Chain A
């Protein structure tokens, strides 16, 4: 995927003109973003970022949404709350976090009010809803490994996957996404390695309401009974 020129210019500007951005961490090891979609279309997001070493100063975390409510950011394993706020820089939104130098990770939790537009999502053919989730790395440094986890609203189940970025490496290769149905909730996972500046990983998926239509099983049972009745000559003694 080509990196948009706008983002490259923005990052170059950030590194030169803004001291806080210049004090960015060195080498992020992993990012894990969990997006739990709620029945009203909002989403509870938990975004974790960890690193091996950094050179101090505040962090500018990627923020891929239009708004955030109930923002709460913690750092390290102990989960000490740290100050954070959303900031606009050159038209892009970042989460500015005052993370201590010794901390190895931060986790931001917030609510995105209108994450999923039910009207746009569906239901379409076969009663499937379709949506796309994206994680874009707007930071100056690459992230070694990114995991995007989508939790479907209660009462829905993952139907299938559409296109993904990154896509499977070859025609006959394992896809970078998978599903886990845990405690009645469908969790969709997407993994990307080495997400560089401006790069995004994304996943298109479809989901449907839980519960089965009785028509197909009924039709199959009826076809079986009709077969047994009308084709009984097959086993009549000849």
Chain B
């Protein structure tokens, strides 16, 4: 799509000052970016006016219609960026209140949601890894081992995310662990916060996809997978086993990730020749020397690893908390414990000024979540899913495979209007089972493959927690995110359809 041949500052490659996220960096604009900006406001106004003035559809309240209109307007503003995204978010919040869509206390209360707090804590913990040079050491080791060329290092991250998904169920935990490493590896290839390039774009977006999509490879990878399996058991009496889920979902997600890894740098965000190799002066030798210069693991690094390890331990042992402590420590509270230790004088490592928290990102996220939650609370999100199913006029007599393709596509892309995987699971899976029952098809044949799509939340920054975190790296725009997300979802849908004809038939999930 876009080839950025801007020259990175070669000497900046490993200077940690370049990773500051708290200040909003200025981005260079291409001619197409400027046109997008210019047309963004009229297109946003047009979307708002059209949706506001259309007759209220059946199944939608007035507030739902307004929420839909405002979300469409904000989406255009976020993608085209005629105004900074935090301004668009603030405007959305103001309009949600002044148009009577959502109560003021609820709109303002979004800033206190767990996802926002997770962001704050994640950036504090990332600062620990950066300040102690632990992230630099891991990143350098990855770069030295796999990084002679861009493609192998990108593949190494795909493999890393696959491994982490099997071990650490919380996507936020995987994001926090890999975020600083990604930023330093990106910088090795010339992509910094101030001067991002297509390598950084590919690296960040591929990791977002890896973190989210690999969650769908394992039954225990996400709560929504377990919920979907519970719905299937409850409504069809079919017990979904871990092995059945693994065999059905993992080949599809692995295939999609490999396709994304292969196509991303070649088709969507092409790498300029200088981005194919490390851009630090002296190349790989310099990186090896830099790693050598770091010497043995320092006391501070051990200290940082210990704090991070404590949080990680709390994250991965969540199901044993109740037995151990009598209560469960949520991922946010576990991260808060880490922040307390990290910021505490004498035992910690950071002073408040060392914590690199991008508040502009948190404001953007708050507005975006407010818009998404208003869609959900007013029933507009559910109405949209119903409307899409109605659009295909699913009636008795429809062939199983036509219905299978429709269900896969709707399940896959419906995440665009939801901020919560849980609520999407609650709406989609029972609805699909009911449709299958009504039309006389085996409900498991549709519901189980549809459940495999629930974690594919890769299209917008608000679609999933990791997305918001990674958006703060300034490596890509919301438009880039949208393009790559839609592409990988299209690939995933195609793979699920292919699997339906082959693998799922062999497994007995769908009929011959």
**What is the interface of chain A, defined by CB distance below 8 A to chain B?**
125-126, 128, 157-161, 172-175, 178-182, 208, 212, 216-217, 220-221, 223-225, 227-228, 231-232, 234-235
Contact = CB atoms under 8 A, between A and B. Distances in A.
Given A172-B422, A178-B379, A126 B100 contact: yes
Given A161-B61, A235-B38, 13 more contacts: A160-B61, A178-B59, A179-B59, A212-B52, A216-B52, A217-B53, A223-B45, A224-B46, A228-B38, A228-B42, A231-B37, A231-B38, A234-B35
A159 B56 CA distance: 10
B423 A172 contact: yes
27 contacts: A128-B100, A157-B56, A157-B61, A157-B62, A158-B62, A159-B61, A172-B423, A173-B423, A174-B382, A174-B423, A174-B426, A174-B427, A175-B379, A178-B59, A208-B62, A212-B53, A216-B52, A216-B99, A220-B45, A224-B41, A224-B44, A225-B42, A228-B38, A228-B42, A234-B35, A234-B37, A234-B38
B118 interface: no
B34 interface: yes
Nearest to A188: B61
A223 B82 CA distance: 13
Main secondary structure of the interface of A (DSSP, over half): mixed
A232 B420 CA distance: 39
Contacts of B41: 223-224, 227-228, 231
Contacts of A224: 41-42, 44-46
B35 A235 contact: yes
Contacts of A231: 37-38, 41, 82
Interface string B51-82: 01100111111111000000000000000001
Contacts of B100: 125-126, 128, 159
Interface residues of B, number: 33
A217 to B, nearest CB: 4
B49 interface: yes
A216 B49 CA distance: 8
B38 A179 contact: no
B467 interface: no
Given A160-B378, A173-B426, A221 B58 contact: no
B48 interface: yes
A180 B34 contact: no
B58 A182 contact: yes
Contacts of B34: 234-235
B61 A179 contact: yes
Contacts of B61: 157-161, 179
A172 B35 contact: no
A172 B60 contact: no
A179 B45 contact: no
A211 to B, nearest CB: 11
Nearest to A220: B45
A105 B56 CA distance: 36
Contacts of A212: 52-53
A220 B61 CA distance: 22
Nearest to B54: A212
